[in-house]
Amino acid sequence: MTDVQLVWPNKELMLRASGLTGYEWVDPTDRRLENPPKFTQLSDGQITSASNIVAVGDGLDVLEALSTNTPALSGGIRLVYIDPPFNTQINFRQYNDSMVRSMWLSMMRDRLAALKPLLSADASIWVHLDDAEVHRARAIMDEVFGEQAFVASVIWQKKMTRDSRAAFSSNHDTILVYAPSGPKRWKTSRNLLVKDEANLRNRDDDPRGPWADAPFTAPGYRKAQQYDIVTPTGVVLRPPRGRSWYATEQTYRDLLAEDRIWFPKGGGGSPRLKLFAHQLRGLVPFTVWGSADTGTNDEAKRHLLALFPDQEVFDTPKPETLLERIIHIATNPDELVVDIFGGSGTTAAAAHKMRRRWILAERNTQTVLDFIAPRLDRVIAGTDEGGITSTVSWRGGGNYEMVHVSPRFGTLTAPHRADAVQKKLAARRGASQSRIIA
């Protein structure tokens, strides 16, 4: 808990989903909240702690239903990635991105608070936003998870084009990263980025193969690491001022005997340590992620257009390459990834291809029918050739279950109730199958 908190109207109330798209302020002591919501299963497989799940419903209702009535969340969530409405006050084709700010703040707080007790000890939460609300979102996350849980603000270059009409041409989003265990503990379990072995070279025809090199110096003064090094050309070198050699003299001699020391500039330069592929340590992630490594909105849109050439796709989808990096850093195979603002299904698609377990919630029934279900069906069938498919050598396989969670407040119109959604899914797949399996 932080000493400084953001205040907004109705903060003492909860914001619950009501009906198809609305919300309702609810007192936390309201008796209607005493019994947890239930889900209707739209597929016929058994839900276990190893299941992947697409849930049609509001994220808060889905979390309460699954955590109470299934073992799906019992092992703990390792990664939460959410790309919620940015509250830009702009209406897009697939959703309206305009809420009263007090409702947006409560919507975010209540869902983050519901996620907190479901996290594993080494979990992390990544919240993807732009400048419209990111500063207020950080205040909310400080309140829910504690200021000590803050890890980083990642800047993602979302586009390459320039808007000449704007005062500044905004080309980035911000991803807030929090870890309840704190950054020092979390970094011991997060993964480093893989160093690009394509940059290895064999500049001295070493029979062990290509190698990279690193300076043979270290910061600070250490008496045992202050000694003369004689280069092959006879130049006598001492460590630069304020630095020491990387290792003691005896270790240096051992490395020299093993041909692990390289002298550039024809043998007259300062010594470098040779590192072969199996010795390379991964890279600590930067906080600025360029489009060359993690893709853009336009690349993601082209991927969706290839999958759905006859439909109007999302305006600002996230690329699988971005999710691939996040999932790689934050999880290992078979660990659970959760996204409660499913959108076009990128999180689930990337997680599935990377052999992680996943749960995806999306409130908009039509989005599930038009994008998420058919996209994941293609991932499982191995017919989605875009995104990270080739990078992770994905060829298809796996399965998922689908459930429907109705809001506890308001009512759903007939076309959006569980039985109607189930019939539509069955009709789209042909025959009467609602089980989705490779």
List all residues 6 or more positions away from 234 whose beta carbon is below 8 Å from its beta carbon. Answer: none
pLDDT in the model for residue 436 = 38
Mean pLDDT of 114-124: 97
If you average pLDDT over every residue of the chain, what do you get? 92
SS3 readout for the chain: CCCCCCCCCCCCCEEEEECCCEEEEECCCCHHHCCCCCEEECCCCCCCCCCCEEEECCHHHHHHHHHHHCCCCCCCEEEEEECCCCCCCEECCCCEECCCHHHHHHHHHHHHHHHHHHEEEEEEEEEEECCCCHHHHHHHHHHHHCHHHEEEEEEEECCCCCCCCCCCCCCEEEEEEECCCCHHHHCCCCCCECCCHHHCECCCCCCCCCEEEEECEEECCCHHHCCCEECCCCCEECCCCCEEECCCHHHHHHHHHCCCEECHHHHCCCCEEEEEHHHCCCECCCCEECHHHHCCHHHHHHHHHHHCCCCCCCCCCCCHHHHHHHHHHHCCCCCEEEECCCCCCHHHHHHHHCCCEEEEEECCHHHHHHHHHHHHHHHHHCCCCCCCCCCCCCCCCCEEEEEEECCCECCCCHHHCHHHHHHHHHHHHCCCCCCEEC
CATH node for 14-192+287-437? 3.40.50.150
Residue 253 is encoded by which pair of tokens? 């001699």
Whole-model pTM: value is: 0.83
Calpha distance 192→187 (Å, rounded): 9
Q: What is the pLDDT of residues 3-37, one digit of tens each?
A: 789 999 999 999 999 999 999 999 999 999 999 99
Comparing 415 with 114, the larger pLDDT belongs to 114
Q: What is the pLDDT of residues 322-355, one digit of tens each?
A: 999 999 999 999 999 999 999 999 999 999 999 9
Calpha distance 64→39 (Å, rounded): 10
Work out whether the CA dihedral 325, 329, 332, 334 comes out positive or negative.
negative
Calpha distance 317→276 (Å, rounded): 39
pLDDT in the model for residue 430 = 59
Query: Tokens 């989808």 belong to which residue?
Result: 317
Which phi and psi (to 5°) does residue 88 adopt? -80, -5
Domain extents in the chain: 14-192+287-437, 197-279
Beta bridge partners of 193: 283
Please name which of 422, 421, 420, 416 lies closest in space to residue 21, comparing C-alpha atoms. Answer: 416
pLDDT in the model for residue 101 = 94
**Confidence check: pLDDT of 306 > 60:** yes
Q: What is the pLDDT of residues 389-428, one digit of tens each?
A: 998 889 999 999 999 999 999 999 998 999 999 999 888 7
Which phi and psi (to 5°) does residue 334 adopt? 80, -5
Calpha distance 401→58 (Å, rounded): 17
Q: What is the pLDDT of residues 258-295, one digit of tens each?
A: 899 999 999 999 999 998 877 777 889 999 999 999 99
Calpha distance 309→304 (Å, rounded): 8
Length of the chain, please? 438
Mean pLDDT of 39-60: 95
Which phi and psi (to 5°) does residue 383 adopt? -105, 5
In b/e form, how buried is each residue of 145-159, taking b as 16+ CB within 10 angstroms? beeebbbeebbbbbb
Residue 401 is encoded by which pair of tokens? 């279950």
Calpha distance 156→161 (Å, rounded): 14
Q: What angle, 0 to 180 degrees and rounded to 10, lies between the N-to-C axes of helices 418-429 and 373-381?
A: 40
Q: In whole angstroms, how large is the CA radius of gyration of the chain? A: 26
Work out whether the CA dihedral 119, 124, 128, 133 comes out positive or negative.
positive
Residue 383 is encoded by which pair of tokens? 């017919």
